[in-house]
Amino acid sequence: AQKITQTQPGMFVQEKEAVTLDCTYDTSDPSYGLFWYKQPSSGEMIFLIYQGSYDQQNATEGRYSLNFQKARKSANLVISASQLGDSAMYFCAMSPNFGNEKLTFGTGTRLTIIP
Amino acid sequence: DAGVIQSPRHEVTEMGQEVTLRCKPISGHNSLFWYRQTMMRGLELLIYFNNNVPIDDSGMPEDRFSAKMPNASFSTLKIQPSEPRDSAVYFCASSLGGYRGRASEQFFGPGTRLTVL
């Protein structure tokens, strides 16, 4: 079974600062995929970034980067130069087969950007 | 591309009534997922299909829930009879699927907010 843990229920960050959202995972699968999704107050789920368990380099997508530390089983999301529009719920998730199977989600972190 | 389409966006019904949620995945995607989101349980997978075939329905709460995918462009999630504890946001998602080593993120629809009175 797979498990995702997000220990920060809420975070407040000043606009333009960088923010790190924590995510740890547990799995016995040798290969897996890690994902981050954003859920604004409007409710939709927006895919942000993906990291494969065999990827040697950390994934980056614009202002988003994933700090992947396999030995520690952590996959933290880093948002650089935060913006007011970054205020949302952020969910870490994993799947056992590079995204072709079900996602197991964490409980989420509510990020609020302060102007 | 239109993205994943779900209908209705909101549904209010009375306990005991049948509810049918609909989903049209992104054209060309071969995997389809139904999730439920509640405050108490968070986001949880109900069932997923690959090439229209149900692969894992272990998350379906009970026999009152059923899902079908008659073709590659349409899926339904039915609750009969509905109960107040079924109130939640139901998301449909689709993905290209893939092979090991290639990412295949899931694209979510806008969700259906179900309220059972």
pLDDT of residue B93: 96
Three-state DSSP class for B10? strand
Residue entry with tokens 């629809």: B109
User: What is the distance between the alpha carbons of residues B97 and B21, in angstroms, rounded to a whole number?
Assistant: 23
pLDDT of residue B102: 59
Q: List the structure tokens of B98.
A: 């893939």
Contacts of B39 in chain A (CB under 8 A): none
Residue B84 has phi, psi (to 5 degrees) of -55, -35
One-letter amino acid for residue B115 of the chain: T
Contact B56 A102 (CB under 8 A): yes
Q: Write the pLDDT tens digit of every residue in A42-68.
A: 999 999 999 988 888 999 999 999 999
Which position has the higher pLDDT, A29 or A60? A60
Inter-residue contact B33 to A102 (CB < 8 Å): yes
Q: What is the mean pLDDT of residues A105-113?
A: 97
**Confidence check: pLDDT of B101 > 60:** no
Contact B106 A98 (CB under 8 A): no
CB atoms within 10 A of CB B55: 15
Interface test with A, best of B104, B112, B114 (most A CBs within 10 A): B104
**Confidence check: pLDDT of A100 > 70:** no
Contact A99 B95 (CB under 8 A): yes
Q: What is the mean pLDDT of residues A77-90?
A: 97
